[in-house]
Amino acid sequence: MAGQGRGRRAGRGRAAGCLLAGLLLLAGCSAPRPAPDATAGEVQQVLDRRASAVLRHDESGYLAALAPAATALRASQRAELANLAQVPLTSWSYQVTGLDRHGASATAKVDLRYRVQGYDSAPVTAARTLTLDREGGRWYVRDDRPAPGAAQMLWQQGPVTAVRGAHSLILGVGQDPAKLREIATTQDAAVPAVSSAWPGPWAGRVVVLVPASLDAMAALLGAPAASYRGIAAVTTGEAGGAGAAPADRVIINPDAYAILGDLGRKVVLTHETTHVATRAHTSAATPMWLSEGYADWVGYRGTGRTAPQAAPELQRAVRAGDLPAALPSDADFGFDGGADRLARAYEGGWLACRMIAAHWGDATLARFYTEVGDQPHREGATEKAMTDQLGLTPGEFTTQWRQYVRAQLA
């Protein structure tokens, strides 16, 4: 508003000058205007042909977009196209979102969007940065790399092996197909387990990525490997929002997953599948104790695991006289707080959701989760849902939760 006020005062002081400027502008309306730069449209056409070639598995058509002299790029792109052979794609497209041209060279910001057939109702988007050269009247791609901060894609790590389950598609690189089939069996059991607990609609199918190593997993997430050491799996996807469901991926850390027993693998994949199912009702308003606690509650549901068996770190703290004073904060779920602190956070969230289910019922727990996540802001969201669904203030809920933790673990 202040800037607008200054503009109005300046205008009154130069009325004659503005009138003259206005007349000059009107006179200029009939002058010829330069034609807009057609580069963006030309580059888009090149990328449209490239995308069509991907869907046809047309190597020559795919490489036709690349600069003839870019031998290293042509070799790597030929390999990537071959690596995609088993991935069932229903769409693949590029969208130019920005372009900077300098004579016969240009740098383009591009969104790669693709969908896996039968699984993605909305596309996965990967930001790319392309360098192009103009030769012989047309544009060629000279370099294609992830945009700053963007993650690697699975087929950039090697040939992808696809294994189909009843409710899952397992995509692996550097993995024994027999191991991928075992994961598909466990994942197929996780989907109905989640559907029996979560009453809301969801796709009922999951894409699981299994890279060759922890380092390869970290590359798919665009994060340091140390952040995921000891974490068996994670789920990626956009939280909340209306419209088409986002395209989630469960990404397995093969190093940590391999040391789990059958029950541990079942709990892990059911936990991650719960994140997929609840994604549309998980938002910035959802505290991590609720999102992670609910996923663990579904994961352990029906396994017969007792509180001491499922919450050993929190039990150790309680028996040492360190009963938590409050529900776990989002910061407690950070990787930099140590493995023990992280474990206690997950266990505390699980016990909070377990208490709600025990005292108010499974359906109320689901309604509580949904109401929190459907709020536009974090502030007041949990408080309102506690009042509406549980009839408690946050302080009263925390008091009951602390009593429940002590009773279950002391």
Range in 92-106, 135-149, 237-251 with the lowest mean pLDDT:
237-251
Mean pLDDT to the nearest integer, 308-329:
97
Residue 137: count of CB within 10 angstroms of its CB: 6
Q: What does the pLDDT look like over 8-33, one tens digit per residue?
A: 333 333 333 332 233 223 334 444 43
Query: Using the 8-state DSSP alphabet, how is residue 246 labeled?
Result: P
Q: How is domain 39-150 classified at the CATH fold level? A: Nuclear Transport Factor 2; Chain: A, (3.10.450)
Range in 4-18, 209-223, 260-274, 343-357 with the lowest mean pLDDT:
4-18
Mean pLDDT to the nearest integer, 329-345:
89
Q: What is the pLDDT of residue 33?
A: 39
Q: How many CA atoms lie within 13 A of 380 on its CB side?
A: 3
- Full-model pTM: 0.87
pLDDT at position 269 over 90 = yes
User: Own/partner pairs for 111-115, CB < 8 Å, 24+ apart?
Assistant: 114/89, 115/89, 115/90, 115/91, 115/247
pLDDT at position 321 over 80 = yes
Q: What is the pLDDT of residue 246?
A: 53
Q: What is the 3-state secondary structure (H, E, C) of 95-153?
A: EEEEEEEECCEEEEEEEEEEEECCCCCCCEEEEEEEEEEEECCEEEEEEEEECCCCCCC
Domain boundaries, the chain: 39-150, 153-279, 283-410
DSSP result, 15-39 = HHHHHHHHHHHHHHTTS--PPPP-H
C-alpha dihedral, 337 to 339 to 340 to 346, nearest 10°? 90
Q: What is the pLDDT of residue 25?
A: 33
DSSP bridge pairs for 236:
249
Give the CATH architecture of domain 153-279. Answer: 2-Layer Sandwich (3.30)
Q: What does the pLDDT look like over 343-390, one tens digit per residue?
A: 999 999 999 999 999 999 999 999 999 999 999 999 999 999 999 999
Q: What does the pLDDT look like over 159-170, one tens digit per residue?
A: 999 999 999 999
Confidence band, pLDDT 50/70/90 cuts, at residue 37: low
Tell me the C-alpha distance between 173 and 154, whole Å. Answer: 7
